Amino acid sequence: MSEPLLKVRDLRKYFPIDSPIPFKRSNQSVKAVDGVSFDVMPGETLGVVGESGCGKSTMARLVNQLIPPSSGTVEFRGENLVGMDAKKLRETRKSIQMVFQDPYASLDPRKTVGELIAEPLVIHRIGDKASQKKRVLELLEVVGLSHYHAKRYPYEFSGGQRQRINIARALVLNPDIIICDEPVSALDVSVQAQVINLLKELQRDYNLTYIFISHDLNVVRYMCDRIAVMYLGKIVEMGTYKEIYENPKHPYTKALLSAIPKESPHDNKERIILKDAVPNPINPPTGCHFHERCPYMMDICSTKIPQLMDTGNGHIASCHLLEEN
């Protein structure tokens, strides 16, 4: 088996909370990402799912060091990005690019599309003006736009087209890995399908690796090879998409899957309706973070934190129910 492209070990990010008393330090913090470990293999797509506030997006930002982690390591091609000196990090980051959720907010309205796509090349001083222009036109074609679009401004484009521009920006430096943070959530279904097809084609043509963050479970199943389910800053279950969808182990994963809307009016879906919403991350429940909402709660759940256990087929989950069997 080949070496993983990205190796994340025990990654943590605690955001301190402002104390209500001015100038006084608070010792409370939000544990946005709390001990996350995973590998990403070259050419694969790792999906990350979970409810809002579970730390998906924070994790994405930690992986390419947009925010410094509190502890843990992120190894890219064997080199730890955490604590790497700024110059070298900048060089390495060329290979790790991001596509953000909101296609409206992530493009500078005062730049033309050509300037936007060329920006990474300018920043990294790659090529002269002419070769940069050539590369921009090349990429416009790759993402399904036309050459004349280079002279236009973002407001002239629809949401789907803007997301194509964002993808072109991410591709311009020939990255190895692209972190997609909810890239299709803001789009209509028919447009969503177009963007997903584009991402799939690009993966095939350029041998890209994706970390694909989404709360749409249907999209994740379609896009991803492996899936990590997050809950309150922790990965509670991870495995191949087949394992996760056909043989979910963690009660939270089961509830998430049962909440997917029906596929036809004739479906009679058994629903596991979860109570309440995600608990306050400042004061997470003791023991298993999920126990207050879990339909299978046992005594041990409120006292002891379950560990991730291997259940075979590269499938891991953290639940006390699994330990019993």
Name residues contacting other proteins, limited to 211-230 (CB under 8 A): 215-219, 221-222
Given the complex with other proteins, which of 164 and 320 has the nearer CB atom? 164
Contact by Cβ (8 Å): 315, 238: yes
Contact by Cβ (8 Å): 298, 282: no
Given the complex with other proteins, which of 2 and 264 has the nearer CB atom? 264
Instruction: State the nearest-atom distance from the C-beta of 175 to other proteins, in Å.
Output: 19
Binding window for other proteins (CB under 8 A); candidates: 9-17, 79-87, 116-124, 152-160: 152-160
Given the complex with other proteins, which of 167 and 317 has the nearer CB atom? 167
Q: How far is CA 84 from CA 10, 33, 65, 119, 224, in A?
A: 17, 21, 10, 24, 30
Residue 255 is a binding residue for other proteins (CB under 8 A): yes
Cα–Cα distance measured from residue 102 to residue 138, given in angstroms and rounded to the nearest whole number: 24
Given the complex with other proteins, which of 88 and 262 has the nearer CB atom? 262
Given the complex with other proteins, which of 35 and 144 has the nearer CB atom? 144
Order of strands, sheet of 71-76, starting from the edge strand that comes earlier in the sequence: 29-40, 6-16, 71-76, 79-80
Helix (H) / strand (E) element for 105: namely: none
Residue 196 is a binding residue for other proteins (CB under 8 A): yes
Largest CA distance in the chain: 68
Cα–Cα distance measured from residue 310 to residue 252, given in angstroms and rounded to the nearest whole number: 17
Name residues contacting other proteins, limited to 109-148 (CB under 8 A): 143-144
Which residues would be at the binding site for other proteins (CB under 8 A)? 51-52, 143-144, 158-160, 188-194, 196-198, 200-201, 215-219, 221-222, 255-256, 258-267, 271, 273-274, 276-278
